Structure 1
Amino acid sequence: HQKGKHLTLNDRTTIQELHSKGYSNRAIARELNCSPSTVGYEHKRGTVSVYRYKAVEGQSTYELHRS
């Protein structure tokens, strides 16, 4: 991931996998080379049920907001 660029579905999948393993937003951000707040915003965007992040839901919400 390049800073200043939008997250891809692969980035979102990485967030999903690392979050399910218990990584913090800051640790995930280090892996993706982005801001911890970006991970937090993405986590909020892709949460479909309590504390369950889904990369596909995050991607569809992103595409909806971009249109």
Structure 2
Amino acid sequence: MIKHSRGKHLSYEERVLIQIRRKDNKSMRYIARELSCSPQTISNEIKRGTVILYHGSVKRYKAEVR
């Protein structure tokens, strides 16, 4: 289990974990509990890292984008 340090940026490993959990349809609160950070942090990260695929028809979170 990855532990997020308070006041620090999310690491690449944490972003990959967010990507995997979103693909598994886990909630933002579930992911936040797993990383021990705020649900708002997860929400902000998903907003920043979401890309539009297939001419705007699909939105996906990508860890590499951020």
Larger radius of gyration: 2
Deviation at 1:39, TM superposition (A): 0.3
* C-alpha distance in structure 2 between counterparts of 1:20 and 1:57, whole Å: 16
TM normalised by structure 2 equals 0.82
TM normalised by structure 1 equals 0.81
Which deviates further from its counterpart, 22-31 or 45-54? 45-54
* C-alpha distance in structure 2 between counterparts of 1:26 and 1:55, whole Å: 18
- Are 2:33 and 1:30 aligned? yes
Higher share in strand: 2
SS at match of 1:48: strand
Structure 2: 5+ residue stretches without partners: 53-57
- Runs of 4 or more, structure 1, over 6 Å off, are none
Deviation at 1:51, TM superposition (A): 2.9
Q: How many matched pairs?
A: 58
Higher share in helix: 1
Structure 1: 5+ residue stretches without partners: 59-67
- Identity between Structure 1 and Structure 2 (%): 52
